[in-house]
């Protein structure tokens, strides 16, 4: 009988792009739990055959491959990660608190990102005004939820923080490009404090994509959407 202990090294791969806030969620979660992984850098203009094989439905990053098991959709991946590696849990035990975390993660993607990305960054004039107003409404709800807490997850970073985390870096870039202040310290003091806390948290602060590169990228995206981009 073989007495040797095999090092059952798990194979964990993350398909991502340098700019993707969604892939970033997965990277944060794995690093917060101290899980070793390899990153496969994708170019979305020239997607690898492997990405297309692993995510034939959406053809997007992130994709997590764990010992051959393929999982797509960042929020789905986060729950998988939390259930597979139990250290530093991202979700609380209590079912109601868990539901609450999921609610705010969904709100972030369905409403906040839509209004800020689609409504403010990609629009101008009256449409942008409407997007701005919608964004203010949405941020107000976040302000109420975070009030009195260090993180949405309480004392430690949780699922909702990771889902909303893009606000702590990407939002500054949007604000710079469009010349509008969204998370104003006076209007949203608790949310502004959370932004700081999250942006500077260990692990989080070491993994932000390059700010200048993001500005350049999103200017191009904005102009293309407004029909001002030079045709390829």
Partner 1 sequence: MAEQPKLLGTLPSPFVHRVIWALKLKAIPYEFIIEEDLTNKSPLLLKYNPVHKKVPVFLHGDKPVCESMIIVEYIDEVWPQNPLLPKDPYERAQARFWVKFAEDKGTPVLWRMFSSKGEELEKTKKETLEMLQTVEEHGIGEKKFFGGDSIGIADIAFGSVVYGLEIIEEALGEGAVFEAHRFPRLHAWIKNFKQVPIIKENLAERDWMVALFKNRREALAGSA
Instruction: List the one residue out of 223, 158, 164, 151 whose CA is nearest residue 190.
Output: 151
Instruction: Find residue 63's DSSP bridge partners.
Output: 15, 72
Instruction: Provide the minimum distance between the beta carbon of 80 and partner 1 in the complex, in angstroms, as a whole number.
Output: 4
Instruction: Provide the minimum distance between the beta carbon of 211 and partner 1 in the complex, in angstroms, as a whole number.
Output: 30
Residue showing tokens 């202040």: 181
**Distances 83 to 106, 219, 222 between C-alpha atoms, Å:** 19, 38, 38
Shorter beta-carbon distance to partner 1: residue 141 or 229? 141
Instruction: Provide the minimum distance between the beta carbon of 210 and partner 1 in the complex, in angstroms, as a whole number.
Output: 30
Instruction: Find residue 14's DSSP bridge partners.
Output: 39, 64
Shorter beta-carbon distance to partner 1: residue 95 or 202? 95
DSSP 119: I
Return residues touching partner 1 (CB under 8 A).
56-57, 66, 69, 71-73, 75-77, 79-80, 83-84, 95-96, 98-99, 102-103, 106-107, 141
Shorter beta-carbon distance to partner 1: residue 70 or 220? 70
Q: Who contacts 66 (Cβ-Cβ below 8 Å, separation ≥6)?
A: 10, 11, 12, 13, 80, 84
Shorter beta-carbon distance to partner 1: residue 97 or 219? 97
Instruction: Provide the minimum distance between the beta carbon of 5 and partner 1 in the complex, in angstroms, as a whole number.
Output: 25
**Distances 104 to 4, 72, 114, 160, 165 between C-alpha atoms, Å:** 47, 20, 14, 6, 12
Structure tokens at 77: 């991946």
Shorter beta-carbon distance to partner 1: residue 144 or 210? 144
- Residue 14 near residue 37, CB atoms below 8 Å: yes
Shorter beta-carbon distance to partner 1: residue 107 or 218? 107
Instruction: Provide the minimum distance between the beta carbon of 79 and partner 1 in the complex, in angstroms, as a whole number.
Output: 6
Instruction: Provide the minimum distance between the beta carbon of 120 and partner 1 in the complex, in angstroms, as a whole number.
Output: 20
Cα-trace Rg, the chain? 19
């Amino acid at each position: 009988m073989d007495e040797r202990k095999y090092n059952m090294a798990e194979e964990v791969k993350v398909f991502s792009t340098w700019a993707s806030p969604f892939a970033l969620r997965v990277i944060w979660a794995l690093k917060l739990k101290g899980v070793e992984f390899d990153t496969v850098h994708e170019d979305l203009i020239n997607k690898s055959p492997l990405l297309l094989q692993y995510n034939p439905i959406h053809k997007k990053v992130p994709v997590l491959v764990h010992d051959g098991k393929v999982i797509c959709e960042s929020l789905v991946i986060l729950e998988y990660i939390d259930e597979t590696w139990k250290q530093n849990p991202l979700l609380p035990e209590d079912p109601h608190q868990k539901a609450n975390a999921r609610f705010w993660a969904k709100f972030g993607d369905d409403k906040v990102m839509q209004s800020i990305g689609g409504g403010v960054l990609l629009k101008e004039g009256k449409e942008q005004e409407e997007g701005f107003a919608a964004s203010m409404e949405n941020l107000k709800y976040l302000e109420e939820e975070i009030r009195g807490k260090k993180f949405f997850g309480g004392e430690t970073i949780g699922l909702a923080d990771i889902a909303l985390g893009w606000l702590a870096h990407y939002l500054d870039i949007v604000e710079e490009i469009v010349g509008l202040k969204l998370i104003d310290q006076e209007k949203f003091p608790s949310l502004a404090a959370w932004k700081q806390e999250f942006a500077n948290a260990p692990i989080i602060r070491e993994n932000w994509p390059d700010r200048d590169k993001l500005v350049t990228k999103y200017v191009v995206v904005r102009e293309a959407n407004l029909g001002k981009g030079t045709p390829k």
